[in-house]
Amino acid sequence: MDKKRKSIIAGNAVSRIYDWPLGGYKQKVLVEGKKDNLPIVITLHGGPGTPIPFSVGCRGLFPEFTDRFIMVYWDQLGCGVNNCVIDDNFTIDSFVQMTIDLVREIKKRYPGQKVYIFAMSWGSILSAKILEADSHMVDGVVVWGQIIKDVFFNEEVINTLENSRIPRKNLEAIKGIRKESVSPKEFQMLAAGIRKYTSGYQNKAGKKAAAGKIIKGLFTSPDYKIKDFKAIMINGYQKNQSLWKEIIYLDLSKLLSGVQIPYIILQGDTDIVTSAAEASRLAETADNDNLKCEIVKNSGHLPGREGMDRVFEKLCLFEQ
């Protein structure tokens, strides 16, 4: 760990890992901020099971965020520092309850302070569904890549692949996948097709996020062991099927249309994993001033540099 990072950590009044029972499972959560009276941002990563860019291994890595907010980094059960096997008894609601418990723990320790959420992709399911339990559980939400409905299985995905350079054999194989019987191997084939032949995941025209810096930071983290670093990608979700079987049938349209707190959706313009077009339509037809959607140019499902800058900007606007 370099001197600059050590200095950032030393300068933070809040810098602690907690062991909290979330959903009945003891889990590590990093809480970090320059001052103890700042507004709070709870991060909900994507995946399921991909704690990037924010994770328990990020102590001292994001001073631009920790100077303005108390950041809460949680490797969701089954990945990173909280790696364990996620079998098919786990449901979306299992993780919603963990998220609710996390919000309650934070509010218990920081009573009266504003609590916001930043969620990505899978994490956006959690940020939406906790509002079913309590419509004012948090003070505001910013999402990159909101899951709404028909993930992967929609005409936009097929049309985009048809207009790409994907080999005909691969395209026909993808067209033959059936939602009701999709296998893990078929999921991988579908995701690989989008990743390799479209800008659905990453848009090459946009400036990339500092992935190398983040990976190096996680590898040299004072809070990660080698096994935790490996469990960013190879973890307890490898054989799970129950979560994706729920995700592909999910429809959050009604829930999102009725949100009672500021809920800002940021979508990359070429994102077809979580459709930018669908998010725009929902925000336009919801007739709800709390629900906003902005499309970020030259961006896909994974935020680049401009995407992360826009996330930071929107979080800061909550405090103005």
Q: What tens digit of pLDDT does each residue of 189-231 get?
A: 999 999 999 999 999 888 887 778 889 999 999 999 999 999 9
| 12 Cβ neighbours under 8 A, 6+ residues apart | 32, 33, 34, 60, 66
Q: Which domains, ranges and CATH numbers included, belong to the chain?
A: 3-151+205-317 (3.40.50.1820)
- Predicted confidence (pLDDT) per residue in 59-97, tens digit: 999 999 999 999 999 999 999 999 999 999 999 999 999
What is residue 319's predicted lDDT score, i.e. its pLDDT? 85
Q: How many CB atoms lie within 10 A of CB 85?
A: 12
User: Is residue 39 reached through a cis peptide bond, with omega within 30 degrees of 0 on the bond before it?
Assistant: no
Give yes or no for a contact between 259 and 286, defined as CB atoms under 8 angstroms apart: no
pLDDT band for 175, please (50, 70, 90 cuts).
very high
Give yes or no for a contact between 124 and 147, defined as CB atoms under 8 angstroms apart: yes
| 216 Cβ neighbours under 8 A, 6+ residues apart | none
What is residue 206's predicted lDDT score, i.e. its pLDDT? 82
Give yes or no for a contact between 60 and 8, defined as CB atoms under 8 angstroms apart: yes
Backbone angles phi, psi at 87, to 5 degrees: -85, -175
DSSP class of residue 207 equals P
Give yes or no for a contact between 56 and 80, defined as CB atoms under 8 angstroms apart: yes
Quick one: tokens of 164? 């790409």
Mean pLDDT of 129-135: 96
Distances in Å between the alpha carbon of 208 and those of 91, 217, 298, 300? 33, 17, 10, 11
pLDDT band for 116, please (50, 70, 90 cuts).
very high
What is residue 207's predicted lDDT score, i.e. its pLDDT? 83
